[in-house]
Every structure is written in C-alpha cells, then in structure tokens.
Amino acid sequence: MPSKVHLLAPWLLALLVTVSWLGLLAHNYVESVDGSTIAIGLVSVGLFLGWWRIPSRRHALDRLLLAMGLIQLVGAAVTVVPFNFLPFAPSQTLDHYLVHVLYGVSQLPLTSAMITQLRKNSGKLQA
C-alpha cells in the first residue's frame, strides 16, 4: 500500500515564497525596475493560497511554485549579462552583480523545497 503524501508545513512554504519575493523586491528596488514586483507577489500569494486551501491540487501547485522559482532563478542569471537578445542593457557594476546574486540565491530555498516535495510525493497517493 502506498504511503501518504509528504506535506510541507504551510508556514514553511509561506516563508519560502516570501523569501523568493523579497529577493525580487530587493532586485527591483536596487535596479529601479517597476511593475513586476506587485504582480509576481500576487501570483506567489495566489499559488500559496491555492496550495494551502485546495489539497487536491497540491501536486500541480508544487510544479507551478517550482516553475516560478526556476524562472526567477534563470532570469536572475541571464539578465545580469548584456546579451544582444535582451530589450535592455544591464549595467555592469558591482551593485548590479551583487543584487543579482541576492535575487538568484533567494530563489534557491523555494526551488529546492519544491523539488524535494515533488520527489518525495512521486507515485504516492493523497490521504
């Protein structure tokens, strides 16, 4: 008989989502980026609330939270370098590099927790 699904504590997931968003907030504050901070914060809150309040959708929401963390992690890495395909030219200063490191590192707890969650729950039934 399959074992129960491993459940991340809701307070811990809320903390991880908050850390992820705070990394974005710090980046956007230092880089003077406007617009995405509130939108991504609202999406993050929506995903967390869905995960918390709709247990039957947790597996899908685990994947969406992982995707959100990975997209931000990749974004933090890619937009630090002035690639030709970017619609802007990022500054090449120490502050710019450090805030991107902070932004990327702030995505790691959520990303790793979601990977762990998905691995532990692969093939298990919900209780």
The pLDDT tens digits for 65-111 are 999 999 999 988 887 777 677 666 667 788 888 989 999 999 999 99
**Is residue 113 scored above 80 in pLDDT?**
yes
Spatial contact of 58 and 5, defined as CB atoms under 8 Å apart: yes
pTM of the model: 0.84
The pLDDT tens digits for 26-67 are 988 888 877 788 899 999 999 999 999 999 999 999 999 999
Expressed in angstroms, the distance from the first to the final Cα of the chain is 12
Q: 114: buried, middle or exposed (CB in 10 Å: 19+, 13-18, 0-12)? A: buried
**pLDDT value at position 16?**
97
Vertex 98, ends 71 and 21: CA angle to 5°? 40
Joined together, the tokens standing for residue 12 give: 């811990």
Joined together, the tokens standing for residue 16 give: 């991880």
Joined together, the tokens standing for residue 68 give: 């959100």
Spatial contact of 65 and 110, defined as CB atoms under 8 Å apart: yes
Joined together, the tokens standing for residue 98 give: 């450090």
